[in-house]
Amino acid sequence: MDIHFLGTGSAYPGTERDNTSICFSNKGYHVLVDVSGNPCRKLKQMDVDLGELDAVVLTHFHIDHIYGLPSLLWGMWLEGRKKPLRIFCDYRNEKKLQGWLAAMEADKWPISFSVKVEIFNGDQEEQLLSGGEMSFTCFKALHSVPAVGLEVQCAGRVVVYSCDTEVNARIGQYSHIDMLIHEATSARTLAGNHSSLREVAEKYALDKIKEIVLVHLSDNEPYEEEVTRLGIPKIVIGEDLMTKSL
């Protein structure tokens, strides 16, 4: 499985990073989790064909996680996409998503692919979709609005992704995680509804986690300093256009 980090920034406007958005790919199946700045360009830079993207999962409805959607659909339309696109969102956001699609008049474009909105209940654990030997299950994240984390299983590997969230006991329940992709909006300071690098390092049992990739990062935070102080080499500070394979 390839994990493409299209963006690794927090909601705060940054100079180095686009907002957090990640594409999981395996055997020609591609799932984009959240849609931030210039998604078409980023997907192309990471060799993911716009015509081949299978699904979009929206973790929650904060702007930094969803604003690239119109641009993604428009780019797909211009390239003559044929394949249907599945978009997953929490049931509490369905009306907003449908209203947004209506506002951009996507149904009036001479669009040659269908967009299918599929809903889930983010308060429950639920398998959302599977394809390319990957399966995606959501669990409740701890944020200011309904939000989910995702467990992605592929060929016996377990990847857990959560953004945005406070440190979540649900993640601590795993006996083994191959890769934890976790938000770290700050390096040290505590901020409600989010996590710091220090909390991630101190509150999860790191011996059960093979590698930690931090995303949702803010400018001018001393992440490198903190990683050096902690001396934990398995913690990786995410960067835009990085791909991790496992």
> Given the rule CB under 5 A, which residues bind Zn ion?
11, 62, 64, 164
CB 168 within 8 A of CB 149: yes
Nearest approach in angstroms of CB 175 to Zn ion is 29
Residue of closest CB approach to Zn ion:
62
Nearest approach in angstroms of CB 83 to Zn ion is 28
CB 224 within 8 A of CB 236: no
**11 or 106: CB nearest Zn ion:** 11
**151 or 183: CB nearest Zn ion:** 183
**35 or 50: CB nearest Zn ion:** 35
Q: Which two tokens stand for residue 228?
A: 């050096």
Q: How far apart are CA 127 and CA 75, in angstroms?
A: 29
**39 or 134: CB nearest Zn ion:** 39
Nearest approach in angstroms of CB 19 to Zn ion is 7
Q: Which two tokens stand for residue 95?
A: 């009306």
CA distances from 182 to 91, 161, 162 (A): 24, 6, 5
Nearest approach in angstroms of CB 62 to Zn ion is 3
- Write the CB contacts of 233 (distance below 8 Å, at least 6 apart in sequence): none
Q: What is the largest CA-CA distance in the chain?
A: 56
Nearest approach in angstroms of CB 29 to Zn ion is 26
Residue with tokens 């939000």: 147
**90 or 164: CB nearest Zn ion:** 164
